[in-house]
Amino acid sequence: MVWPVRSARSVVVAVGRDAVSLDRLEALDSRARAVRSVGDRADDAAAIGAALGGEADAVIDALGSTPIPDLTMAGFDVVDTDGTMVLLGGVRQSLPIPYDQLMRRRITLRGQPGLADRVLAARAARPPAPRTGSPRPRPRAG
């Protein structure tokens, strides 16, 4: 997923392809917005910008393994001047980041290789937590 953030209004946009997951994320908090990726860099960037109401102060790219960089680059396209982009994902080829835009917009670019894949693998390998004790008693009506 790509998570653009606009801190002035405390809006977080979750971008991905799984509509069920996006709906669940959006239901967690009224400040969360979900954008379903259509797989086109320009269209995805426009949808993200519309959901944010402008550009992002920060973008966190936590995509798993993906063969093309379009969604990551859509995130880059919405980073505001003096914004930050954090790459945790698994794009498997070079990112076509335009040097002139990186410099002119003074974007801070940070990365942690393969972190998203390692987190997902650790979650998948972890056995479910055992259920202990009895359920909490419900308060009585009345």
Cα–Cα distance for residue pair 21/86, rounded to 1 Å? 22
CB–CB of 2/75 below 8 Å? yes
Q: Domain limits of the chain?
A: 2-120
CB–CB of 105/78 below 8 Å? no
In a 3-state reduction of DSSP, which class is residue 28?
helix
pLDDT tens digits along 14-72: 888 889 989 998 888 888 899 999 989 999 999 999 998 889 888 988 877 777 889 99
Q: Where are the beta strands (DSSP E) in 1-113?
A: 2-6, 11-16, 32-36, 56-61, 65-66, 79-87, 90-91, 108-111
- State percent of the chain over pLDDT 70: 72
Q: What is the mean pLDDT of the chain?
A: 80
Task: Give this prediction's pTM.
Answer: 0.73
Token pair for 18: 């799984």
> Among the CATH numbers 3.30.530.20, 3.90.1150.10, 3.40.50.720, 3.40.1710.10, which is that of 2-120?
3.40.50.720
Single out the residue of 87, 52, 85 nearest to residue 66, CA to CA.
87
pLDDT higher than 70, residue 105: yes
